[in-house]
């Protein structure tokens, strides 16, 4: 096993005054924040498809990233070599977790049997490296979108045989996720949607997706897989409309098919913005409904408008994300997975380190800022004051279910008009938050 990232050693915490661009200035894994080490707040994870397989291709040109170990093939030999590369990267970066799609780590064979054999070979090597390094699997997933058999979708394909193939593929992916001790299993329905309503039986497709997810949960239960199932919302791309549009659509879907106790959500920043939501909105919606499971950390480019999956560097964004995660008491089995890629122009191996270091430091700063806001009770006091009318009197009575429309009419006829409103003070609050972002 050679060294692939020569010249780059273990990335260490050197503190905010360090000028070393290959060191952490804020992410200090064992530093305690609100009684929990930073590494446990985040449970940082590296995404195999971007970091190990991404070559910088875009719709206008092929990959151009310089990866001296690559022969560019989808051979088994290359797949096994990439595992060595990946674990060297993980060991040097210090991420405790990684994530993968089945097809990221092993090539497809001539048929399902051969494909599964390839996956088994890769998984045996992954297992060996996990044992050697202590790096763990945050989640596994199945790629149900690249192969041309999935051209019309997987669980929502009009072709019943494609549904069956997808079920077999996910069964295998859950098995290997369990074998590798994966803490979650993710469903991102890249092609579970439509391009054209004239040829789409929407009700039937959604029923099939509901059935598919129920079968997955039943299978997991049967084999004793204890990981958390997660759905990853995204409104569109590659399809014009994806059924798992946003957190609210996912919740309605889960409730309709009786799956709300078995699934949580994996919320991704750039998917939130494609749905015209802030990440903060999606996180708060999921948190309010008890389904915040994990996050895919990245950001979009507001001027490009597609899923650019850039590394998160915006401290306002990471502060908001951490305010939500901390209010949730953490992410439980979930983590912060960098579903993020280098832009095409950043093509050297060292850029992979710079990108992840920047993302981890941006999250560490967000954590410290959110902790300071919480320590001062800044937002807590604002909320308490704003909702004070619900703490006693008529508000407390309504919340306790003691009123009807008739009794409220009686109350208001007597009072004559509602008590005056207070200002929302949005600008003042934003100014206050700015005081913490230094
Ligand atoms: C695609 C995306 C996926 C999922 C896993 O936009 O985010 O990579 O995270 O399938
Ligand atoms: Co994602």
Among candidate residues 50, 65, 101, 271, the one labeled active-site is: 101
pLDDT digits (tens, 9 = 90+) for 139-168: 999 999 999 999 999 999 999 999 999 999
Distance CA 432, CA 230 (A): 35
Predicted local distance difference test score (pLDDT) of residue 305: 86
Assign 399 a pLDDT band (cuts: 50, 70, 90): very high
- In short, whether 53's Cβ falls inside 6 Å of ligand 1 is no
- In short, whether 183's Cβ falls inside 6 Å of ligand 1 is no
- Residues 286 and 232: beta-carbon distance below 8 Å: no
> Ligand 1 pocket check: which of 104, 141, 297 to mutate, most ligand atoms within 8 Å of Cβ?
141
* Rounded distance from Cα 51 to ligand 1 centre (Å): 13
Predicted local distance difference test score (pLDDT) of residue 302: 87
- In short, whether 192's Cβ falls inside 6 Å of ligand 1 is no
272 SS3 class: helix
Q: For 282-293, what is the mean pLDDT?
A: 98
Predicted local distance difference test score (pLDDT) of residue 438: 79
Locate the ligand 1 atom nearest the alpha carbon of residue 190 and give its number.
1
* Rounded distance from Cα 184 to ligand 1 centre (Å): 14
Position 343 pLDDT exceeds 90: yes
The set of residues, in sequence order, having a beta carbon less than 8 Å from that of 153 and lying 6+ positions away, is 162, 189, 191, 192, 193, 205, 239
* Helix extents (H) in 247-348: 247-256, 269-274, 279-288, 315-327
Beta-strand pair 263-268/241-242:
unpaired
Q: How many CA atoms, within 13 angstroms, populate the side-chain half-sphere of residue 258?
A: 7
Distance CA 324, CA 277 (A): 15
Predicted local distance difference test score (pLDDT) of residue 1: 61
Ligand (nearest to CA of 267): 2
Predicted local distance difference test score (pLDDT) of residue 105: 98
Q: Using CA positions, which residue lies closest to atom 2 of ligand 1?
A: 188
pTM as predicted: 0.98
pLDDT digits (tens, 9 = 90+) for 100-116: 999 999 999 999 999 99
Among candidate residues 26, 50, 65, 104, the one labeled active-site is: 104
Q: For 395-413, what is the mean pLDDT?
A: 98
Burial of 108 (0-12, 13-18, 19+ CB in 10 A): middle
Locate the ligand 1 atom nearest the alpha carbon of residue 268 and give its number.
7
Beta bridge partners of 229: 185, 263
Beta-strand pair 241-242/193-194:
antiparallel
pLDDT digits (tens, 9 = 90+) for 296-326: 999 999 899 899 999 999 999 999 999 999 9
């Amino acid at each position: 096993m050679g060294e692939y990232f020569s010249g780059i050693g273990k990335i260490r915490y050197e503190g905010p005054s360090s000028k070393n661009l290959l060191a952490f200035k804020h992410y200090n894994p064992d530093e305690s924040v609100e009684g929990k080490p930073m590494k446990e707040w985040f449970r940082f994870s590296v995404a195999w498809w971007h970091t190990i397989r991404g070559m910088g291709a875009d719709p206008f040109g092929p990959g151009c990233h310089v990866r001296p170990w690559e022969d560019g093939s989808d051979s088994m030999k290359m797949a096994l070599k990439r595992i060595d590369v990946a674990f060297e990267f993980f060991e040097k970066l210090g991420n405790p977790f990684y994530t993968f799609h089945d097809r990221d780590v092993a090539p497809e064979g001539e048929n399902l049997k051969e494909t599964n054999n390839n996956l088994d070979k890769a998984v045996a090597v992954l297992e060996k490296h996990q044992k050697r390094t202590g790096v763990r699997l945050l989640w596994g997933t199945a790629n149900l979108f690249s192969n041309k058999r999935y051209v019309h979708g997987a669980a929502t394909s009009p072709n019943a045989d494609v549904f069956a193939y997808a079920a077999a593929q996910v069964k295998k992916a859950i098995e290997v996720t369990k074998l590798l001790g994966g803490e979650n299993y993710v469903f991102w329905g890249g092609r579970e949607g439509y391009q054209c309503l004239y040829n789409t039986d929407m009700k039937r497709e959604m029923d099939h997706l509901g059935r598919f997810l129920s079968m997955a949960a039943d299978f997991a239960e049967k084999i004793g897989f204890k990981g958390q199932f997660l759905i990853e919302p995204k409104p569109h791309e590659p399809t014009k409309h994806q059924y798992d549009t946003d957190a609210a659509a996912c919740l309605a879907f889960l409730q309709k098919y009786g799956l709300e106790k078995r699934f949580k959500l994996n919320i991704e920043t750039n998917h939130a913005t494609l749905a015209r939501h802030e990440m903060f909105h999606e996180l708060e919606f999921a948190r309010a409904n008890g389904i915040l499971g994990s996050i895919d950390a990245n950001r979009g480019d507001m001027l490009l408008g597609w899923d650019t999956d850039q590394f998160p560097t915006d401290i306002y964004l990471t502060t908001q994300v951490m305010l939500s995660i901390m209010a949730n008491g953490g992410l439980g089995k979930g983590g912060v997975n960098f579903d993020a890629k280098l832009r095409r122009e950043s093509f050297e191996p060292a850029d992979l380190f710079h990108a992840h270091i920047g993302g981890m430091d941006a999250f560490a700063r967000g954590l410290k800022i959110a902790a300071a806001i919480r320590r001062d009770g800044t937002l807590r006091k604002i909320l308490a004051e704003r909702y004070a009318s619900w703490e006693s009197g008529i508000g407390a009575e309504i919340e306790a279910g003691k009123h009807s429309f008739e009794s409220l009419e009686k109350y208001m006829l007597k009072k004559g008009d509602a008590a005056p409103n207070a200002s929302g003070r949005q600008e003042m609050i934003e100014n206050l938050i700015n005081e913490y972002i230094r």
